[in-house]
């Protein structure tokens, strides 16, 4: 398997011991509405239903392995919650119905799943008015192997190694059956072939974050020769905003914020100026920027450092004019557009060194993500 970050950042390439496993709390039943009643199980041991085992970093090897699939089971293991709340609502269930595949969808055998802050906010019920009904199998980001294709699918076939953000609209009716499961069904248009040089762990961390980074830059009208300040340059989105601004959009100058221990990472990603937010107030610096990309919720301060006529895009928190906010739209074409940059190594995924977390460590992985201190992406692998 390849290293998670090929840029020379010693702290990130170090191998970290796994956090000890912590069993989910148990003892309730819930009905997963697809078909059958669901029984919550205490452990998450390897499935006996499935012959497919993909752990290779190579797309071609994965595709070869995929041909060994003898049958797709009707039930699968999944991480499920039946009520909104903290990580304690997360349960394991090994009798969840494998999702039906619609005409425009493929069924993916999940190899790795990436966590995003939106998973936690959704679980906490922060957008329950537009959420799909409970119970929920969480997970937006997936990397895995296609095991079944719908009748109208044209560009993908069984055995393809793919990645994507499974929910076209992040907050509007995200799928009830997400990527923290053995299988997930996804529209072909939301997927792309996994970059050949990336393993499934690296690929699983990219979709939602890189789509957000790219869409935000496009919405600001970012272009070659412009300067940018990225607030939260070390997070899942910000680490990609820096790289896209530099390598895809041709930024003239990039500044970014993080705490002291992550300043070298910011520079390795392409930042010309790394600002330690624990020591300096970026809004007090004399420099102004064409674009400020706020990935932390500091729009009120961000608008103070944008040039006249510039743009401030905010991903979270209150918006102060002229700042604006958007919610990411999943789009496989964005991934296809960016795949050459990933395959050439210009854009590198940043995977948090505390991971990957195993499937049985999902609650710990969410707890860690929700400290708001993760570096790059928090990944779950293997599944289960
Ligand atoms: N609107 C949308 O469509 C959309 C899409 C994606 C994400 N989002 C939102 O955007 C935010 C960022 O997402 P993400 O996935 O990048 O989060 P993330 O990876 O969880 O961010 C974690 C990072 O935040 C940094 N951080 C914490 N406090 C900071 C501060 N005061 N200044 C600078 N950095 C700070 C931490 O670095 P240190 O340890 O150095 O503090 C850590 O590396 C979340 O609120 C998410 O929900 C919105």
Which CATH number does the domain housing residue 259 bear?
3.40.50.720
Domain presence at residue 341: no
Q: Are residues 115 and 200 in the same domain?
A: yes
pLDDT tens for 157-185 read 999 999 999 999 999 999 999 999 999 99
Q: What percent of the chain has pLDDT over 70?
A: 82
Residue nearest ligand 1's atom 39 by CA = 373
pLDDT in the model for residue 43? 31
Q: Please determine, for residue 210, whether its predicted confidence score (pLDDT) is greater than 80.
A: yes
Q: Please determine, for residue 69, whether its predicted confidence score (pLDDT) is greater than 70.
A: no
Ligand 1 environment, Cβ below 6 A: 116-118, 170, 209, 212, 231-232, 234-238, 257-259, 262, 277, 295-296, 315-316, 327-328, 369, 372-375
Domain presence at residue 37: yes
Ligand 1 atom closest to the Cα of residue 237 is: 16
Confidence band for 33, pLDDT divided at 50, 70 and 90: very low
Mapping DSSP to helix (H, G, I), strand (E, B) and coil, where does residue 230 land?
strand
Give how many domains the chain has, as a whole number. Answer: 2
Q: What mean pLDDT is predicted for residues 76-91?
A: 98
pLDDT tens for 244-290 read 999 999 999 999 999 999 999 999 999 999 999 999 999 999 999 99
Q: Are residues 359 and 251 in the same domain?
A: no
Residue nearest ligand 1's atom 18 by CA = 235
Domain presence at residue 331: no
- Ligand 1 centroid vs 103 CA: distance in angstroms? 36
Dihedral (C-alpha) 110, 111, 117, 118: value to the nearest 10 degrees?
-10
pLDDT in the model for residue 70? 54
Q: To test ligand 1's pocket by mutation, which of 115, 141, 315 has the most ligand atoms within 8 angstroms of CB?
A: 315
Domain presence at residue 63: yes
* pTM for this predicted structure: 0.87
Q: What percent of the chain has pLDDT over 90?
A: 82
Torsion sign, CA atoms 48, 50, 51, 55: negative
Confidence band for 60, pLDDT divided at 50, 70 and 90: very low
Mapping DSSP to helix (H, G, I), strand (E, B) and coil, where does residue 62 land?
helix
Q: Please determine, for residue 39, whether its predicted confidence score (pLDDT) is greater than 90.
A: no
Q: What is the largest CA-CA distance in the chain?
A: 64
Confidence band for 37, pLDDT divided at 50, 70 and 90: very low
Q: Specify the DSSP class assigned to residue 57.
A: S
Q: What mean pLDDT is predicted for residues 51-59?
A: 30
Confidence band for 34, pLDDT divided at 50, 70 and 90: very low
Domain presence at residue 213: yes
Residue 159 CB coordination number (10 Å)? 17
Ligand 1 atom closest to the Cα of residue 233 is: 34
- Ligand 1 centroid vs 3 CA: distance in angstroms? 23
Q: Are residues 189 and 216 in the same domain?
A: no
- Alpha-carbon gap, residue 157 to 212, rounded angstroms: 27
Q: Specify the DSSP class assigned to residue 85.
A: S
pLDDT in the model for residue 31? 29
Q: Are residues 146 and 51 in the same domain?
A: yes
Residue 365, H or E segment: helix 362-369
Q: What mean pLDDT is predicted for residues 125-142?
A: 98
Q: Are residues 273 and 319 in the same domain?
A: yes
Q: Are residues 116 and 202 in the same domain?
A: yes
- Ligand 1 centroid vs 4 CA: distance in angstroms? 20
pLDDT tens for 104-123 read 999 999 999 999 999 999 99
Ligand 1 atom closest to the Cα of residue 117 is: 47
Q: Are residues 221 and 190 in the same domain?
A: no
pLDDT in the model for residue 47? 31
Q: Are residues 244 and 170 in the same domain?
A: no
Q: Are residues 157 and 173 in the same domain?
A: yes
pLDDT in the model for residue 17? 26
Dihedral (C-alpha) 353, 358, 361, 365: value to the nearest 10 degrees?
40
Domain presence at residue 156: yes
Domain presence at residue 363: yes
Residue pointed to by tokens 């599944």: 383
Ligand 1 atom closest to the Cα of residue 259 is: 40
Structure tokens of 219? 């919405």
Range of the domain at 76: 10-206+349-380
């Amino acid at each position: 398997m390849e290293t998670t970050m090929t840029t020379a950042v010693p702290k990130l390439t170090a191998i970290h011991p796994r956090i000890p496993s912590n069993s989910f709390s148990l003892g309730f039943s819930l009905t997963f509405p697809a078909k059958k009643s669901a029984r919550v199980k205490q452990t998450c041991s390897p499935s006996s239903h499935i012959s497919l085992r993909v752990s290779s970093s190579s797309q071609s090897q994965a595709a070869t392995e995929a041909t060994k699939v003898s049958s797709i089971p009707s039930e699968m293991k999944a991480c499920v919650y039946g009520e909104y709340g903290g990580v304690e609502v997360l349960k394991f269930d090994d009798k969840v119905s494998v999702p039906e595949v619609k005409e425009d969808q493929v069924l993916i055998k999940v190899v790795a799943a990436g966590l995003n802050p939106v998973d936690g906010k959704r679980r906490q019920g922060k957008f329950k008015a537009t959420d799909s009904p409970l119970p929920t199998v969480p997970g937006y980001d997936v990397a895995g192997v296609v095991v079944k294709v719908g009748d109208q699918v044209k560009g993908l076939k069984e055995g393809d190694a793919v990645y994507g953000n499974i929910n076209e609209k992040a907050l509007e009716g995200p799928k009830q059956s997400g990527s923290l499961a053995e299988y997930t069904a996804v529209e072909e248009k939301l997927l792309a072939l996994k970059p050949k040089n990336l393993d499934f762990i690296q690929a699983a961390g990219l979709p939602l974050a890189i789509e957000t980074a790219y869409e935000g830059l496009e919405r600001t009208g970012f272009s070659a020769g412009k300067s940018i300040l990225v607030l939260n340059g070390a997070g899942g989105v910000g680490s990609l905003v820096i790289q896209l601004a530099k390598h895809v959009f041709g930024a003239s100058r990039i500044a970014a914020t993080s705490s002291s221990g992550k300043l070298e990472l910011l520079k390795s990603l392409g930042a010309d100026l790394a600002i330690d937010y624990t020591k300096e107030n970026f809004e007090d610096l004399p420099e102004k920027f064409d674009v400020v990309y706020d990935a932390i919720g500091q729009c009120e301060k961000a608008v103070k450092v944008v040039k006249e006529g510039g743009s401030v895009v905010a991903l979270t928190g209150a918006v102060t004019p002229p700042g604006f906010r958007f919610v990411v739209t999943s789009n496989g074409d964005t991934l296809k557009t960016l795949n050459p940059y990933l395959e050439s190594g210009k854009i590198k995924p940043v995977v948090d060194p505390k991971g990957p977390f195993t499937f049985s460590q999902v609650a710990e992985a969410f707890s860690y993500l929700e400290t708001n201190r993760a570096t790059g992406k928090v990944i779950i692998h293997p599944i289960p």
